[in-house]
């Protein structure tokens, strides 16, 4: 599909009037977003999505969180990120496991202690996280990367990488060469 075809699709009228769409999106955002979360503009939440943070989470502009996805970590999610359905972005140290004589259910929770670097996730701009993936806190997913559906990300993923599996490993690059990547970055900078 070329640029003209994409523009034509983007301008096709919807069957749902714009004011109704805006109200529905606002209601979904209000239901989905909990405390300690700062949203950019044009952030969309799918049905049943839950987004909260124990300390602080910043979400950029033009981000889409798919239906029934859960984001419950500190950190940052860049602009133009697409999070598929049933994705979980969660902490790896949400409950203390070393408190002698304390049942895990009663152990110190991440929100009850000071924030640590391992509590945060850093997702760059223009990242696509495929459906049913799990992203653990303490990782960085580089700009322009793609995480394949059903992957479990336990360590950093470099910029413009394609990663799949459990645990996720890099299997390719999004663009054929540096020239394509640089052109993509130039175009994205104008959006």
pLDDT class of 17 with cuts at 50, 70, 90:
confident
CB 63 within 8 Å of CB 79? yes
Residues of the chain with pLDDT > 70, as a percent, come to: 93
Per-residue pLDDT reduced to its tens digit, 135-148 = 999 999 999 999 99
Most confident option among 90-94, 114-118, 124-128: 124-128
For 2, 3, 32, the CA distances from 9, given in Å and listed in that order, are 11, 10, 28
Rounded to 5 degrees, what are φ and ψ at 66? -70, 165
* Domains of the chain, each with CATH number or no CATH: 34-189 (2.160.10.10)
Which alpha helices (H) appear in 33-166, and where do they start and end? Answer: none
| Sheet with strand 44-45: strands edge to edge | 44-45, 64-65, 82-83, 128-129, 146-147, 161-164, 169-173
Rounded to 5 degrees, what are φ and ψ at 76? -145, 145
Question: Over the chain, what is the mean pLDDT?
Answer: 90
Active-site hit among 55, 95, 122, 184: 95
Specify the pairing of strand 37-39 against strand 57-59: parallel
Residue of 93, 97, 98, 68 lying closest to 83 (CA atoms): 68
The per-residue pLDDT for 3 is 54
CB 144 within 8 Å of CB 181? yes
The per-residue pLDDT for 6 is 52
Is 95 labeled as catalytic in the residue annotation? yes
Per-residue pLDDT reduced to its tens digit, 127-182 = 999 999 999 999 999 999 999 999 999 999 999 999 999 999 999 999 999 999 99
pLDDT class of 80 with cuts at 50, 70, 90:
very high
């Amino acid at each position: 599909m070329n640029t003209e075809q994409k523009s034509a699709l983007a301008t096709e009228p919807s069957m749902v009037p714009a004011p109704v769409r805006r109200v529905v999106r606002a209601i979904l955002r209000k239901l989905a977003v909990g405390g300690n979360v700062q949203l950019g503009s044009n952030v969309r939440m799918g049905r049943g999505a839950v987004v909260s943070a124990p300390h602080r989470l910043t979400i950029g502009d033009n981000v889409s969180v798919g239906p029934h996805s859960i984001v419950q970590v500190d950190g940052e999610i860049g602009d133009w990120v697409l999070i598929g359905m049933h994705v979980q972005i969660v902490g790896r140290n949400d409950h203390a496991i070393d408190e002698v004589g304390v049942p895990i259910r009663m152990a110190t929770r991440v929100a009850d202690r000071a924030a640590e670097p391992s509590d945060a996730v850093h997702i760059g701009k223009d990242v696509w996280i495929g459906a049913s993936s799990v992203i653990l806190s303490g990782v960085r997913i580089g700009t322009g990367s793609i995480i394949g559906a059903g992957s479990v990300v336990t360590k950093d993923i470099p910029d413009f990488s394609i990663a799949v599996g459990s645990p996720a490993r890099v299997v390719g690059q999004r663009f054929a060469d540096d020239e394509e990547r640089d052109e993509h970055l130039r175009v994205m900078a104008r959006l």
